[in-house]
Amino acid sequence: MKYHSLFVSLVVLSVLFSCEEKESQHNQQQPNIIYIMADDHTTQAFGIYGSRLASLNPTPNLDKLANEGMIFDNCFVNNSICVPSRAAIMTGQNSQANGVIDLEGELPADKQYLPTELKKLGYQTAIVGKWHLHAEPAAFDYYQVLPVQGKYFNPDFRVQGDKPWPENEIQTEGHSSDVITDATLDWLKNKRDPNKPFFLMHHFKAPHDDFENAPRYDEYLADTFIPEPESMYHNGNNGSEGTRGKNDSLTRIIGSSVSSRNLIRNQAMNLYTDSTVYKQYRNAADIRPDEYVNWEMSADERKHTSVVYQEYLKRYLRCVKGVDDNVKRLLDYLEEEGLLENTIIVYTGDQGFMLGEHDYIDKRWMYDESMRMPFFVRYPEKIAGGTRTDAIINNTDFAPTLIELAGGTTPSYMQGHSFKSILETGEEPEDWQKSTYYRYWMHMAHKHGNPAHFGIRTNDYKLIFFYGRYWVDTDDPDAKWNKGSWGNDFTRHTPAAWELYDLRNDPNEMNNVYADPAYKGIASDLKQQLIELRENLNETDKNYPHIQKVIDEHWND
Q: How far is CA 508 from CA 45, 367, 504, in A?
A: 16, 9, 10
Q: Give the per-residue pLDDT at 503.
A: 98
What residue spans define the domains of the chain? 28-219+312-432, 238-306, 437-554
E-strand ranges in 113-176 read 124-129, 142-145, 156-159, 169-171
For residue 82, pLDDT beyond 90: yes
- The residue ranking higher by pLDDT, 127 or 485, is 127
> What average pLDDT does this structure show over 312-326?
98
Peptide bond just before 507 cis, omega within 30 deg: no
Q: pLDDT, tens digit, for every residue of 415-464?
A: 999 999 999 999 999 999 999 999 999 999 999 999 999 999 999 999 99
Query: What's the average model confidence in pLDDT over 250-258?
Result: 97
Length of the chain, in residues = 557
| Least confident piece of the model among 2-16, 116-130, 297-311, 319-333 | 2-16
Domain covering 437-554: architecture: 2-Layer Sandwich (3.30)
Confidence at residue 145, expressed as pLDDT on a 0 to 100 scale? 98
Work out the pLDDT band at 310, boundaries 50, 70, 90: very high
Q: Using an 8 Å Cβ cutoff, are 334 and 280 in contact?
A: no
| pLDDT score at 484 | 87
- Mean pLDDT value of segment 281-306: 94
Whole-angstrom Cα distance, residue 287 to residue 173? 42
Spatial CB neighbours of 93, under 8 Å, sequence gap ≥ 6: 87, 396, 413, 414, 415, 416
Instruction: Write out the H or E segment, with its range, that includes residue 144.
Output: strand 142-145
Q: Residue 16: what pLDDT? A: 44
What number is the average pLDDT over the span 95-113?
97
Given a contact cutoff of 8 angstroms between Cβ atoms, the answer to whether 406 and 31 are in contact is yes
Of 396, 513, 510, 416, which is closest to residue 463 (Cα–Cα)? 513
Please tell me the predicted confidence (pLDDT) of residue 7: 44
**DSSP assignment of 358-420, as one string?**
GG-EES-SSSHHHHB--EEEE-TTTS-TTEEE---EEGGGHHHHHHHHTT----TT--S---H
C-alpha to C-alpha distance for 151 and 202, rounded to whole angstroms: 16
CATH of 28-219+312-432, one of 3.40.50.300, 3.40.720.10, 3.30.70.260, 3.90.1150.10: 3.40.720.10
Q: What phi and psi values does residue 54 have, to the nearest 5 degrees?
A: -60, -35
Mean pLDDT of the chain: 94
Q: Say which range, 29-33, 213-217, 221-225, 392-396, has the weakest mean pLDDT.
A: 29-33
Residue 274: what pLDDT? 84
Residue type present at position 449: G
State yes or no: pLDDT of 258 exceeds 90: yes
CA-based radius of gyration for the chain: 25
Q: Sorting pLDDT into bands at 50, 70 and 90, what band is 28?
A: low
Q: pLDDT above 90 covers what percent of the chain?
A: 92
Mean pLDDT of 89-102: 97
What percentage of residues in the chain have a pLDDT greater than 70?
Answer: 95
Quick check: 26 pLDDT over 80? no
Query: Sheet of 461-466: strands edge to edge?
Result: 435-440, 453-458, 461-466, 497-502
Distance, first Cα to last Cα, the chain = 90
pLDDT interval class at 1 (50, 70, 90): very low
The DSSP bridge partners found for residue 153 are 175
* DSSP code per residue over 313-328: HHHHHHHHHHHHHHHH
